[in-house]
Amino acid sequence: MSIFDNIKRNLEKVSDYLSLTNAEKELLLSHKRITKATLNINGKVYEAWRIIHNDALGPAKGGIRFHPNVCEDEVKSLSFWMSLKTSLAGLPYGGAKGGVKINPKELSEEELEKVSRAYIRAFHEFIGEDKDIPAPDVYTNPKIMGWMLDEFEKIKGRHEPGMITGKPLELGGCVLRGDATSKGGKIILDLFLEEEGKSPEKTNVVIQGFGNAGMNIAKMLHDAGYNVIAVSDSKGGIVDKTGLDIEKVIKTKKETGSVTQYPKAEKISNKELLELETDVLILAALENQITKENAENVKAEVILELANGPVTSEADDILHERGIVVIPDILANAGGVIVSYCEWCQNKTGHIFSKDYMEKILEEKLTQAFRKTYDLYKEQKRFSMRNAAYAIAIRRILDAEKARGNLD
CB of 236 to ligand NAD, least distance (A): 8
Question: For strand 325-327 and strand 236-239, is the pairing parallel, antiparallel, or unpaired?
Answer: unpaired
Task: Give whichever of 54 and 308 is closer to ligand NAD, judged by the CB atom.
Answer: 308
The stretch near ligand NAD (CB under 6 A) out of 8-16, 38-46, 203-211, 220-228 is: 203-211
Query: Judged by CB, which is closer to ligand NAD: 41, or 307?
Result: 307
Q: How many CB atoms lie within 10 A of CB 327?
A: 27
Q: Please report how close the Cβ of residue 381 comes to ligand NAD at its closest, in angstroms.
A: 30
Single residue of 83, 165, 312, 333 touching ligand NAD by CB under 6 A: 333
Candidates 7-15, 282-290, 312-320, 370-378; binding stretch for ligand NAD (CB under 6 A): 282-290
Does 213 sit near ligand NAD (CB under 6 A)? yes
The yes or no reply on residue 343 touching ligand NAD (CB under 6 A) is no
Q: What's CA 138's distance to the chain center, in Å?
A: 9
CB closer to ligand NAD out of 205 and 307: 307
Asked if 336 is part of the footprint of ligand NAD (rule: CB under 6 A), the reply reads yes
Q: Specify whether 97 is catalytic.
A: yes
Q: Does 308 bind ligand NAD (CB under 6 A)?
A: yes
Q: Does 286 engage in binding with ligand NAD (CB under 6 A)?
A: yes
* Size, binding site for ligand NAD by CB under 6 A: 23
CB of 343 to ligand NAD, least distance (A): 12
Find the farthest-apart pair of alpha carbons in the chain and give their distance in angstroms, rounded: 62
Q: Which of 55, 113, 137, 343 binds ligand NAD (CB under 6 A)?
A: 137
Q: Which is nearer to ligand NAD, 31 or 65 (CB)?
A: 65
The piece of 53-61, 100-108, 136-144, 293-301 that touches ligand NAD (CB under 6 A) is 136-144
Stretch that binds ligand NAD, among 35-43, 227-235, 364-372, 399-407 (CB under 6 A): 227-235
Burial class (CB in 10 A: 0-12, 13-18, 19+), 38: exposed
Contact present, 133 and 61 (Cβ < 8 Å): yes
Measured distance CA(296)–CA(292) in Å, rounded: 7
- For residue 90, what are the CA distances in angstroms to 83, 166, 335, 370, 405? 11, 20, 12, 11, 21
DSSP string of 195-208? HTT--GGG-EEEEE
Is 278 in a helix, a strand, or coil?
A: coil
Cβ-closest position to ligand NAD: 211
Q: Is 294 in the site for ligand NAD (CB under 6 A)?
A: no
270 near ligand NAD (CB under 6 A): yes
Question: Please, which residue, 274 or 318, has the CB nearer to ligand NAD?
Answer: 274
* Helix extents (H) in 283-384: 313-321, 329-332, 335-349, 355-379
Inter-residue contact 162 to 90 (CB < 8 Å): no
The answer to whether 348 touches 162, Cβ cutoff 8 Å, is yes
Q: x/- string (CB under 6 A) for ligand NAD, residues 25-64?
A: ----------------------------------------
Nearer to ligand NAD, 116 or 308 (CB): 308
Out of 97, 101, 186, 365, the active site residue is 97
Q: What are phi and psi of 13, to 5 degrees?
A: -65, -25
E-strand ranges in 43-104 read 44-54, 60-61, 64-67, 94-101
Long-range contacts of 38-43 (CB under 8 A, 24+ apart): 39/100, 39/115, 39/118, 39/119, 39/122, 40/118, 41/111, 41/114, 41/115, 41/118, 42/111, 42/114
d(CA 302, CA 216): 19
* Under rule CB under 6 A, residue 138 binds ligand NAD: yes
> Does 261 sit near ligand NAD (CB under 6 A)?
no
Which residue, 213 or 280, has its beta carbon nearer to ligand NAD?
213
Beta bridge partners of residue 5, listed in sequence order: none
Contact region with ligand NAD (CB under 6 A), list: 5-13, 23-31, 116-124, 211-219: 211-219
181 binds ligand NAD (CB under 6 A): yes
CB-nearer residue toward ligand NAD: 82 or 118: 82
d(CA 355, CA 74): 34
CA-to-CA separations, 328 to 8, 141, 307, 322, 333, in angstroms, rounded: 16, 24, 9, 17, 8
The residues carrying an active-site annotation are 97
The residues that touch ligand NAD, with contacts defined as CB under 6 A, are: 137-139, 181, 208-214, 232-234, 270, 284-286, 306-308, 333, 336
